[in-house]
Each structure stands twice: as C-alpha cells, then as structure tokens.
Amino acid sequence: MTRTSELPGRPCSVAATLNLVGDRWSLLAVREVLFGNRRFSQIARNTGAPRDRLAARLKSLVEDGLMERRPYQASRFEYYLTDAGMELSSVLVALLAWGDRWAQDEPPMVLQHQGHRIQPVIVCETCGQQVGMDDLQLVSNAPGWTLGGPQGEPARKAQ
C-alpha cells in the first residue's frame, strides 16, 4: 500500500485511495465482483475494459489487498473481494446515486431495500444522526499541513 507521504501534494486518504482504485477499470472491476461476476471473461464483458488493461488492474487490486484470486479449474481463477474491497461498496453506492442524479437521464439500475429505492446518506456511527457537509469540522492531522496547505507557505491568490 502507498502511504500518503509517498504521494505528491497534500497528505490525504482520498489521494491514497485514488492511487489504489482511481481509474475507471479498477472500480468497474470491483463493481462486477460485488455483483457476483468473478471470472475474468465476465468482468471483461461487463466493464468493456481492454483485456490487457483489465488484467493489469486485477493484478494490482490483488497485490493491494482489495481482491484475491482463487482457482476454480486448472489455470483458471475467480476473483473475490477482501474485506477492504467489500468496504468499497459504499463508495460505489454513492457514485451510483450521484450518477443517477447528475450523469444519467434515466437510471439504468436502481438500488432497493425491501422494495423501495434507497438514497445513501452519511450517518454518525457514535450518535446515529444523519450528517451533512455543514455539520462536519475538518481537522488537519497531517504534520506540517493546515487546511489551507503547507504550514509557513503564504496562500496564493485566486487568478
């Protein structure tokens, strides 16, 4: 895994996550395995990814601990999500909901719970309340960084 200190710019878990799954083929491969499509041919068909690129992405997802390969025949493998890979389901649900609203005229798929459509929300694990961006306090925890950028550097004016 890449540490945020190894990446350029602000130390940030978003940057570290995107370093692992920040291209379309990685997240679409995770989506397909989440949907139960575990064989390379299924993942390739359903993502539309070029086979060489998909093979490279699946290899890195395995190396980074998001998926594991399990044999189902001699020299044939299926892909399974690890706990880390399964936790990406909430990210995919959020992307799906955003895409339904902003990137599609009509959603090609809907998520339902007990027969009704769902809309993902952020809930505080401690108190159980729904949380919006206005409710959050952003606290920089990276040494040498503030929310404005590196400590001691003057902020640049917008152009």
The predicted structure's pLDDT at residue 7: 87
Under a CB-based contact definition with an 8 Å cutoff, are residues 66 and 84 in contact?
yes
Provide the whole-model pTM: 0.87
The predicted structure's pLDDT at residue 66: 98
C-beta pairs of 16-23 under 8 Å, 24+ apart in sequence: 20/60, 20/61, 20/64, 20/66, 21/61, 21/66, 21/88, 23/57
Positions in the chain whose pLDDT score sits under 50: none
DSSP string, 19-47: HHH-SHHHHHHHHHHHTT--BHHHHHHHH
The predicted structure's pLDDT at residue 153: 76
pLDDT digits (tens, 9 = 90+) for 124-148: 999 999 999 999 999 999 999 999 9
The predicted structure's pLDDT at residue 156: 67
